[in-house]
Amino acid sequence: MSAQKLTVVLLAAIMVCAGVSMVLMAQQVSTSETEKGAPSRQARVERGEVVYVSGNDLVVKMENGEVRHITVPDSARATVDGKELSVHDLKPGMKLQRTITTTTRPQVVTTVTTIKGKVFNVNPPNTVILTLPEGNKQYKIPKDQKFMIDGEEKTAFDLRKGMNVSATVIQQVPETVVAQQRKTTGTAPPPPAKTASRTPRYAARTDCANGSVRDAR
């Protein structure tokens, strides 16, 4: 049986990492493909008023009365009245609004790995040890896995030491990718109202004696 050639095709619809335990070797070639699903988006809006700014420290009073102390990086920007401002440009009284958009996208990563080696030992139906150019490596066999041996469907119990093995493992892992985008906008407080200045009024007095006009203050 040592000269018998064996082709093993491991087809697993969905395997978690525990389904197949392997370390990529020189005789292992893997390719991956990602199938993305439809994304879903959720937006959350937070509003508050600037009450204190010093350096990168920002204190904001939220709509619900909560007071937050935030350390803002220099790279952060807020669009206030159409102008991009850094934390150093913010002033008490400014109204800020932060919109947080969370995008969730499901996806399935399919990894196809081809392995070539020689059966060193087999412990059916759980594990098989293959001899690779770098040494022996143990693999876990998925439950109810079938093998193609000389064109016939066999089980792990039909593997024998010395058989040359070419195995293809298909692993599908569902994932969820979450991304967040933050955008801060705001408005500056209105300028203080101008108070009307009082102009001194002067009264003109006529000196009837000589007909001259004098200012009376």
Q: How many CA atoms lie within 13 A of 178 on its CB side?
A: 3
Q: What stretch(es) of the chain map to CATH 2.40.50?
A: 41-104
Level-2 CATH architecture, domain 41-104: Beta Barrel (2.40)
Decide which of 151 and 44 is more confident.
Answer: 44
Phi and psi dihedrals of 87, rounded to 5?
-60, -30
Single out the residue of 175, 145, 124 nearest to residue 9, CA to CA. 145
Provide CB contacts within 8 A for 206, sequence distance 6+.
212, 213, 214
Q: What is the mean pLDDT of residues 104-128?
A: 89
Question: pLDDT at position 185, please?
Answer: 95
Provide CB contacts within 8 A for 169, sequence distance 6+.
10, 12, 15, 20, 22, 111, 112, 113, 114, 115
The string of pLDDT tens digits covering residues 169-208 is 788 999 999 999 999 999 998 887 776 556 555 555 555 4
Token pair, residue 38, equals: 């439809």
Does 64 have pLDDT greater than 80? Answer: yes
- Separation of alpha carbons 148 and 155, rounded Å: 8
pTM: 0.56
Residue 163: pLDDT band (50, 70, 90) is confident
